Structure 1
């Protein structure tokens, strides 16, 4: 599983330029330009377009390398209550609250649907 923080910004292009200047390179980009990924050695940074009030918000996400049903079963066995596995336009995802009540997103990408 890879760590993938999602940084929301009202200026995806500007934020991308900033992280490129820090040394990250652009990876996958959505066709409409609403998000971009910047791979790094231990994961990647995803920048998503958000409303002005979301600017600066960061969400923790992970890219799974196994079926999300298996991840959900482990979470349930450990006493956590994951939401359903959702069919998204990029593959599948599920969300679960950590012990502090913060939502964490786990994605399983279908690279044919991805961009």
Structure 2
């Protein structure tokens, strides 16, 4: 199952988390160093991530499906995903949508970072 996971970059994770919890989201898993906080919503999650790209929002998805299967399905449909990469949070792959915008698909292992 795919769940939508926009990633909102900020220089102040605490302030942005406070804003979105005031808006009505609830604080979920967070990284031990504090640079990543998940704010679960009805059918997805907003991720707040510390980064130099303050204000940028990246479209990402979280999946329980093996990323290799996602990559195969994309290739069979004529899209060319990048490689599956080991990350500090699990694994990910990227693929450009038809407009050339990168979309990230993540398979999280929360034991790695919470």
* Alignment TM-score, normalising by the size of structure 1: 0.95
Q: Which runs of 4+ in 1 moved over 2 A?
A: none
Gaps in structure 1 of 5+ consecutive residues: none
Query: Cα distance, 1:45 vs. partner?
Result: 0.1
1:89 and 1:104 mapped to 2: Cα distance?
18
Root-mean-square deviation (Å)? 0.8
| Aligned residue pair count | 113
* Alignment TM-score, normalising by the size of structure 2: 0.96
Gaps in structure 2 of 5+ consecutive residues: none
1:111 and 1:14 mapped to 2: Cα distance?
23
1:114 and 1:98 mapped to 2: Cα distance?
29
1:34 and 1:111 mapped to 2: Cα distance?
14
**Contact kept in structure 1, 2:32 and 2:113, CA below 8 Å:** no
